Amino acid sequence: MENVIQSRFIEREENLETANQTDETENLRRARRAVEHHFCLLMSRSPADGLHWKSTASDLIEVTHMVWEARFMLDEQARPLTFKYMVRRIFAILHVPEPGNPYVVMNNIKHRKNALGLPITVRMQLLVTRQGRDNPFEPFVD
C-alpha cells in the first residue's frame, strides 16, 4: 500500500513539474516575442525622434543579435536583414556610437567568464514574465 501511495505521489509531482516547465517555456516564448516586437518598433523609428539607449553598447549588440537570429526582419526584397545593417540602424536611432566590429563584440559576449549580473536578454525576459511589463525596452530607452 505504501508503495502505491508513494508511486502516485511521485507521478503527481512529475505531472506538476511538467506543467511548470510548460508554463515557463510559454513565458519565455512570450517574452521573446515581446522583445522582438518592440525591437521592430524601435527599428522603424528615426534618429530625429531623439531616443537614447541607457545601457551598454554590448547590451544593445546582444539584444540585436537575439532578434537577428530569429530572421524575421526582412528588407524590401523579402530577404532577412543582415546583423551589420541592424546594428548600424539601431545604434543610429538610439544615438549610441557604433562599434567597429559588432561580430567581435558578440563573440566576446558569448565567451564572457565570471560576468556579474545577467545578460540583457534574460533581464528583458524577467521584465516581461515576472514584472508583467509589455515593453521590455522601457527601462533601457529614454
| Cβ-based neighbour number of residue 64 at 10 Å | 21
In this structure, are residues 42 and 90 in contact, taking their beta carbons and an 8 Å threshold?
yes
* Angle made by CA atoms 107, 92, 97, in degrees to the nearest 5: 55
Query: What pLDDT, on the 0 to 100 scale, is given for residue 8?
Result: 54
Q: How many domains does the chain have?
A: 1
The tens-digit pLDDT sequence of the chain (142 residues) is: 555 555 555 555 555 555 556 677 888 889 999 999 999 999 999 999 999 999 999 999 999 999 999 998 999 999 999 999 999 999 999 999 999 999 999 998 888 765 667 889 889 999 999 999 999 999 999 9
Query: What pLDDT, on the 0 to 100 scale, is given for residue 87?
Result: 98
DSSP code per residue over 30-44: HHHHHHHHHHHHHHT
Residue 141 pairs with which residues in a beta bridge? 53
Domain housing 49: 1-141
Q: Please tell me the distance from the alpha carbon of residue 68 to that of residue 11, in angstroms, as a whole number.
A: 41
Q: Considering the entire predicted model, what is its pTM?
A: 0.80
In this structure, are residues 140 and 54 in contact, taking their beta carbons and an 8 Å threshold?
yes
Query: What pLDDT, on the 0 to 100 scale, is given for residue 23?
Result: 77
